[in-house]
């Protein structure tokens, strides 16, 4: 498995080796030893999956302490532009973001550590998006940042008229309206 840090080194892209023949293909989607060597210790406790059509934008989501989450994200079918925004208090890359196209052909994955807001927009006709979380979903600690905040300068690569949002995501606060995340001694994990 190839592991590549992004412009924000705590966010890592994983490219598994895919073995294919006339029967189909095989790949390892997670290997704890390789993952931890490049992203740190982790214990995943919850898996989630969503299906969306072109232009659906989900995000930018995060959870407040003590329920912050790290996520290993991938696309099972289709293609998305995945985005991670650093919202860690005192981070030298606070307010910066990284983007990565994740698609079912490449089978690439991205680690979004604790302390980052996360979102994606569907680039294909439809996409099935899957992710592993290292903490449980806690509705009372759910939070977000507005997807089109000019301070973030995210190029979502789809026209604004094509973006479809939930009411919740359309009303998220701007970056300067949130309290940056102060992480526990466990770091970004």
- 116 with 143: CB under 8 angstroms? no
- 113 with 39: CB under 8 angstroms? yes
Delimit the domains of the chain by residue range.
44-177
Of 62, 97, 118, 131, which is the active-site residue?
131
pLDDT greater than 50 at residue 88: yes
Q: For the chain, what percent of residues have pLDDT higher than 90?
A: 92
Q: What pTM was estimated for this model as a whole? A: 0.93
pLDDT greater than 60 at residue 188: no
Task: Output the CA–CA distances (angstroms, integers) from residue 73 to 36, 105, 146, 182, in the order listed.
Answer: 15, 15, 20, 23
Instruction: Give the confidence band of 112 by pLDDT, cuts at 50, 70, 90.
Output: very high
Give the torsion sign (CA, 181, 184, 188, 189): negative
pLDDT, position 150: 97
Mean pLDDT of all residues in 47-73: 97
**What does the alpha-carbon distance between residue 166 and residue 63 come to, in Å, rounded to a whole number?**
18
Active site residue 137: no
Cα angle, residue 97 at apex, residues 71 and 121 outer, rounded to 5°:
65
Active site residue 38: no
pLDDT greater than 90 at residue 120: yes
Instruction: Give the confidence band of 189 by pLDDT, cuts at 50, 70, 90.
Output: very low
Q: Backbone phi, then psi, for 104, in 5-degree steps?
A: -75, -20
Give the torsion sign (CA, 155, 159, 161, 162): negative
In CATH, which of 2.60.120.10, 1.10.287.130, 1.10.10.60, 1.10.40.30 is domain 44-177? 2.60.120.10
Nearest residue to 118 via CA among 85, 150, 92, 140: 85
pLDDT, position 115: 97
Of 61, 62, 97, 118, which is the active-site residue?
61
**What does the alpha-carbon distance between residue 74 and residue 118 come to, in Å, rounded to a whole number?**
13
pLDDT, mean over the chain: 94
């Amino acid at each position: 498995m190839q592991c590549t840090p992004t412009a924000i080194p705590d966010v890592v892209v994983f490219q598994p080796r895919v073995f294919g023949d006339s029967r189909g293909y095989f790949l390892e989607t997670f290997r704890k030893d390789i993952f931890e060597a490049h992203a740190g210790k982790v214990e995943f406790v919850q898996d989630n999956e969503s299906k969306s059509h072109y232009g659906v934008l989900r995000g930018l989501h995060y959870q407040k302490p003590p329920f912050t989450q790290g996520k290993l994200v991938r696309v099972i079918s289709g293609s998305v532009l995945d985005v991670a925004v650093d919202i860690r208090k005192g981070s030298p890359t606070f307010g910066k973001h990284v983007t990565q196209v994740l698609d079912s052909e490449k089978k690439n994955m991205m680690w979004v550590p604790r302390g980052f807001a996360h979102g994606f927009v569907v680039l294909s006709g439809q996409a099935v998006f899957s992710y592993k979380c290292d903490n449980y979903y806690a509705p009372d600690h759910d939070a977000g940042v507005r997807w089109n905040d000019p301070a973030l300068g995210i190029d979502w690569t789809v026209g604004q008229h094509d973006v479809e949002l939930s009411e919740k995501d359309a009303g998220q606060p701007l970056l300067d309206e949130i309290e940056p995340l102060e992480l526990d001694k466990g770091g970004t994990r």
